[in-house]
Each structure stands twice: as structure tokens, then as C-alpha cells.
Amino acid sequence: MTNRIAVITGANGGLGTAMTKALAAQGRKVVGTHLPGEEAQANDWQANLREEGIDAAIYALDVTDFDGCKAFVAAVEQDLGPIDILVNNAGITNDAPLKRMQPEQWNQVINVNLTSMFNMCQQVFESMCERGFGRIVNISSLNGEKGQFGQCNYAATKAGIYGFTKSIAQEGARKGVTANSVSPGYIDTPMVRQVPEKVLNNIVAGIPVGHLGKPEDIARAVAYLTADEANFVTGTNMSVNGGQYMA
């Protein structure tokens, strides 16, 4: 089936937009989420996609709010139908060396990047199992694989995604539900382009392929893992980092 409903959290960012286009190209009905308060940006995102012939829905959602996630899924199911594909893409950073990191910084990143996985997956997992089909992709990070100075909170969440993903993959394996993760390296997004030029040049120098990745590189990985035919790939991580970290 091509007309499956796919939810992408944090869809109105650079990676989320590329994922939306890739899944729409597969014939998926894409539903994105954005942070509450970003309605104007979300409306622009939706309008820009419509100019390209993509009719994607978008809802405001705080992924750290369990009851809010439950209400969001219920609204999507009522408006469009059951969710077949879930891409947990929403994430933040709030960096500091361990000695200066505040509990608020730790908790904020844990809640947005990791607790959100539980909040979203629990809402759709049982229904996917009952219908005999589901694709879950959780977006991790290169820094979850190798760690990063000043990012113990962020790296912990992104590493935690691996254990979470492998565990639910085992629960869904015989019921047609796959769960995988994708770990992007440094991708050419507006956020990365804000890094000082000297720092950015040093980053690129450490990437064996010699350049930043593109959002479309991540989107292609997500499209592959969410394909109907990808039923033999579950519980794994796909590193898309230009060879910067080879596990």
C-alpha cells in the first residue's frame, strides 16, 4: 500500500522537511508536528510544500507531554485514519560541560529527545501490532554513537534510543511491526551553517567523504526503513555520517 499515514515529529525543520518530501514521493499521507507557538512557521512550511504538489497536514504538539501525544494520535486517527508509520525526529540540544550543566538542561534534553520516544510509540504500537503492519524510525545521532564534549545529556539520549528501539523491535517482530534508528552525522542544515566557519571547516576535515551530508541523505534512509518491503530489517541502526564514525 502507498496511501499509508506517516507521522513525522519535528517535521518543519530541515531534516523533517526532506523526510516529508521523501515519504510523500512514496505515496504516503504525511502528518507533521511542530512546537506549539510556531504556527506561522508551520503554515509557511505547509504552503511551500503545497507549491510542490505535496499536501501534508501539520499539528502542534509538545512531544514531552504524554497526554498531549495521546490526544494528538486520537485526532489524527479521527481526521485521517490509523497511523502506519512513525518517525520520531523531534530533538533539541542544550549543551554544557558536565561541571556546568544544570539539572534543568539535563531534564529538558532527556524529555524532548528520549521520553518523547515512549510518549509517541506507546500511542501507536498496539494498534500497529493489531493491524499487522507498522514502521517506526527513531532519529538518533552520530554523537550517540561516539559521544561528544559538552553533550553528555544529548549523547545519553541519542544512545538511549538504540536500546529503546531494539527492545520494541523484539516486541513487534512477529506482528509485522519493525523499529529501527537512523544516526545522522553532520548535515548541511541552517543550524549547522550557523557554526563559525573555522569550526565548520574542522568538522568537514574530519569527514572521510570530504563534505557535509544533505537532508536528503537522511530522508532516503528513512524512506527505505519505512517501506512496505523493508519487513526483514528491524532492531538495527543505520549510520549516515560520511564515514566519520565507523562502528
- C-alpha to C-alpha distance for 33 and 42, rounded to whole angstroms: 8
What are the pLDDT digits (tens) for 164-173? 999 999 999 9
How would DSSP label each residue in 3-17? --EEEETTTTSHHHH
Predicted pLDDT of residue 195: 85
Average pLDDT, the chain: 97
Residue 2 has pLDDT above 80, yes or no: no
44 has pLDDT over 80 = yes
pLDDT average, residue stretch 52-73: 98
Q: What residue has cell string 571547516?
A: 201
Residues labelled as active-site residues: 154
pLDDT at residue 25, as a whole number: 97
**Percent of the chain topping pLDDT 90:** 95
Of the candidate ranges 5-9, 124-128, 152-156, 191-195, the one whose mean pLDDT is the lowest: 191-195
pLDDT at 106: 98
Q: Is 39 left (phi over 0), alpha (psi -120 to 50) or beta?
A: alpha
Task: Give residue-wise pLDDT tens across range 76-112.
Answer: 999 999 999 999 999 999 999 999 999 999 999 999 9
Nearest to 7 by CA among 79, 106, 67: 79
**pTM of structure:** 0.97
Give residue 194's pLDDT band: very low, low, confident or very high (50, 70, 90).
confident
The pLDDT-based confidence of 1 (bands split at 50, 70, 90) is low
The CATH number of the structural domain formed by 5-186+215-240 is 3.40.50.720
Pick from 28, 10, 30, 6: which is nearest to 83 by CA? 6
Strand positions, DSSP E, 27-175 = 29-34, 57-60, 85-88, 134-139
